Structure 1
């Protein structure tokens, strides 16, 4: 038996324990009932033999010649059928100094056989029992009694084939074990059904957790037994507290951003004042303010994303977000007359995460593509082995293969002539990896750059 599986599986543990007790109970019941029946049949068999012996004793007399006679033979027809398995015999006990004598009387069922009973000296009227070999080598069960009439001592015996007793016992035990086997199978089936039905709420609970994990629900929903409901309520409380912590973290991140950007703006405006433009200190302050702004934007984005990644139950439809961003980019880059082509999402895929993070990632990528494209941008959403894959292709000049890993680093810009902070791709790549995804750069079929954003799908 695999003890690790037994230890780790509640279902197997319950079934194994129940089956062990069923087997033990059936074995004990079978043995006990068999023994009781055996004792009962054996007692009845001995009673029947003693009844025949009593009848024989009651009808025993001595005739005028002092010869033993049986006035009325026992009525059982088996005693008249040769070698039927039921016999009686009367022997005269030889006096001291006399030679042993043959049977005086015997039943017709003995035919020409005699019963050879072990020599013993029971008291007058006392009953003894023996097991001897009888006609045809079968084992006989014998009861005997010594009776004295006048001066004659007689030995009365009644014997029967033990198969008349053991046969019914064997038949009964065979039927008993068959019945107990059927009972055991029925109990096993009942136990299996009980375990299946008893653990069904756990499967429902697993399905509810799966819906939360896949973003189909924000809480565990369903009807559960009273024994499980406290666990469900506690889990829903944890989910609510987790969501509250994330919301608080977002609020604090926003407050921090506002608190930092205001003094940074003051410093920047002071450094860029007309009378300070030629001042080395002003230029240094302006440069450091820009650096701080980049760092603040980058780390706040990471902090907000890291908080939202921990919240289960998130689900965001991808195509509406893309079309909304395309409408924004068409207005932002209206002077360039770019053509945006959104290839429909046939599978209606959804992102397992927060909409704000998806907007930030796709917004950065589509904005970068809009800056570099000459006239056309294609956006396609597809299923990539259970993952969500968004391909953004442009017909710009692209990025050399040797430079692709370099531009994903924080603060690196592919071209200093194009406006930007150099944080868009870095933030997007970090966000994607936080969600268990990735950002891949490759050559586009349009001639420019293909950016593939890989994210967990619902």
Structure 2
């Protein structure tokens, strides 16, 4: 289930929505309770002022109730609204005055020292187990009458019931909002995943052979994936077409040697030694053609694959081989090698064997023609690896450089070789989207630049 993108979106949406609604509910309930309590305490202060306005000191300075309070709860037994007046400073004193609603009960006010004008709040258990909110202040009517604690209390049942009712209503409202939001999220998920379903349908059409490319209108977030996939499909088509062409070329190339071999086998008058020699020549021609086409096929298959080959270690390995192969040059001094590379090292986006074959051919040619020095340099240039191999030999005239890249063409017959090396390098580099350039070297000879994709 967790492998499904749809279920992941649903679970994430449920988690975020649940946390959001829970946080919002807690904040709203907290603000509502604070507001309701403030209103409740404000009314309690108004009741305290009413009680204080009805109290007057007698000749001894003691408070007396003057008249009847307007709210009937003051007189109804356990009516939920109470007042009590007692002398300040006494420990658990008997109330001097109290409302009729207290009946034979009293408010058990905590021992408290109140400064004049200071308001204190208490939560007490009142008559019948009522949860009371109490407000009290100290009052002094005259210098001889002493200080009196005047307390007013109200039952919080209506307040608590109102808060409970609000919580229930809020929970119901948030539940409805959550259901609506989940429905909206479901629609959003379906709409958001619609391009992926369209992509899946397009892939199915490609698999069924109805089309050769992913077709359709896709959003910008999916479009790069579609474009990369279409490029991969185009490359696969090129690989298949190239394989077909290579197969045809191979068949055409070995057709003539095979015909000659058949003729030699059927001609009984041909001398045995000559027949054997020509037979070996034709067999070698077939082998050369097969090897060459196999190399091209291998490079064609690897050109688009995700390979990554470090360039410098390959070159260092080839240098050790070249030192042994060209250690003794008849009538020529040993070759002085120079290898330059950048930091950090660069990588070729292709097969190690192909890089070895391309670089090895170029280095072998440089050794054959160099007088004393061969310089090899590597650098990265805009997403490409540039491998330059230079020598101080006679070089190649500009008008001959294009010709020597043709298969089997040699600029000078004095140095042994088949004339296939540069053509193999050029063909292999082209299969990777690269190229081989022949330029004039600062050393006086030829500069062969091999441009390849960087990994």
Q: Structure 2 residue aligned with 1:203, among 180, 197, 214? A: 197
Normalised by the size of structure 1, how large is the TM-score?
0.54
TM-score (normalised: structure 2): 0.54
Residue number in structure 2 paired with 1:140: 132
Q: Which runs of 5+ in 2 are unaligned?
A: 302-455
Counterparts of 1:237 and 1:145, CA distance in 2: 86
Q: Is the 8 A contact 2:133 2:154 kept in 1?
A: yes
Structure 2 distance, partners of 1:225, 1:191, is 19
How many positions carry a matched residue from both structures?
Answer: 296
**Counterpart contact for 1:138–1:161, Cα < 8 Å:** yes
C-alpha distance in 1 between matches for 2:34 and 2:237: 74
Structure 1 contact 61–68 (Cα < 8 Å) conserved: yes
8 Å CA contact retained: 1:56, 1:73: no
- The CA distance in 1 between the partners of 2:235 and 2:92, in whole Å, is 106
Once residues 190 and 279 of structure 1 are traced to their aligned partners in structure 2, the CA distance between those partners, rounded to angstroms, is 91
Q: 1:266 to 1:111 in 2, by over 3 A?
A: same
Match of 1:61 in 2: 56
Deviates more, 1:204-213 or 1:55-64: 55-64
Q: CA deviation at 1:66?
A: 6.9
Q: CA deviation at 1:62?
A: 3.6
Q: Which residue of 1 aligns with 2:246?
A: 252
Aligned to 2:429: none
**What do residues 41-91 of structure 1 show as CA deviations (whole Å, max 9, x unaligned)?**
222222111111011112222457977443354433333332221112333
Does 179-188 or 210-219 show the bigger shift? 179-188
Measured after TM superposition, the shift of residue 27 of structure 1 is 2.5
For 1:86 and 1:259, the matched residues in 2 are separated by: 115
Instruction: Give the drift of 1:170.
Output: 2.1
Per-residue deviation, 1:253 = 0.9
Query: C-alpha separation between the residues in 1 aligned to 2:47 and 2:101?
Result: 14
Measured against aligned partners, the alpha-carbon deviations of 1:248-280 in whole angstroms (never above 9, x if no partner) come to 21122112212212332243245435857x999
Q: Residue 70 of structure 1 aligns with which residue? A: 65
Give the one of 33, 45, 48 matched to 1:38: 33
Q: Residues 156 and 211 (structure 1 numbering): CA distance in 2 closer, same or farther, change over 3 Å? A: same
1:64-143 aligned within 5 A: 68-92=63-87, 102-143=94-135
CA distance in 1, matches of 2:179, 2:251: 70
Return the offset for 1:239: 1.0
Instruction: Please give the alpha-carbon distance, in whole angstroms, between the structure 2 residues aligned to 1:123 and 1:255.
Output: 111
RMSD: 4.3
Is the 1:85–1:160 Cα contact (8 Å) retained in structure 2? Answer: yes
Structure 1 moving runs of 4+ over 4 Å: 63-67, 92-95, 99-102, 273-276, 278-283
Q: Please give the alpha-carbon distance, in whole angstroms, between the structure 2 residues aligned to 1:83 and 1:71.
A: 22
Distance 1:268 1:117 in 2: 127
Per the alignment, residue 240 of structure 1 pairs with: 234
Once residues 71 and 241 of structure 1 are traced to their aligned partners in structure 2, the CA distance between those partners, rounded to angstroms, is 105
Q: Distance in 2 between matches of 1:229 and 1:121?
A: 77
| Aligned CA distance change for structure 1 residues 94 and 272 (closer, same or farther; 3 Å) | closer
d(CA) in 1 for partners of 2:88, 2:198: 87
Q: Do residues 152 (structure 1) and 138 (structure 2) align?
A: no
Return the alpha-carbon distance in structure 1 between the equivalents of residues 115 and 54 of structure 2.
Answer: 20
Query: Would the aligned equivalents of 2:62 and 2:145 in 1 still touch at CA under 8 Å?
Result: no
Aligned to 2:175: 181
Please report how far the alpha carbon of residue 156 of structure 1 lies from its aligned counterpart in structure 2 after TM superposition. Answer: 2.1
SS of the residue corresponding to residue 140 of structure 2 reads strand
Rounded to whole Å, the distance in 2 between the matches of 1:23 and 1:193 is: 18
Structure 2 counterpart SS, 1:226: coil
* Unpaired runs of at least 5, structure 1: 309-458
Contact kept? 1:87, 1:159, Cα under 8 Å: yes
Give the whole-Å Cα distance in 2 for the aligned partners of 1:11 and 1:20. Answer: 14
Matched, 1:170 2:158: no
- Asked if 1 retains the 8 angstrom alpha-carbon contact of 2:61 and 2:141, the reply is no
Q: 1:100 to 1:191 in 2, by over 3 A?
A: closer
Change (3 A) 1:67 1:271: closer
Distance 2:239 2:92 in 1: 111
Indicate the larger mover: 251-260 or 18-27. 18-27
CA shift in 2, pair 1:269/1:63, >3 Å: same
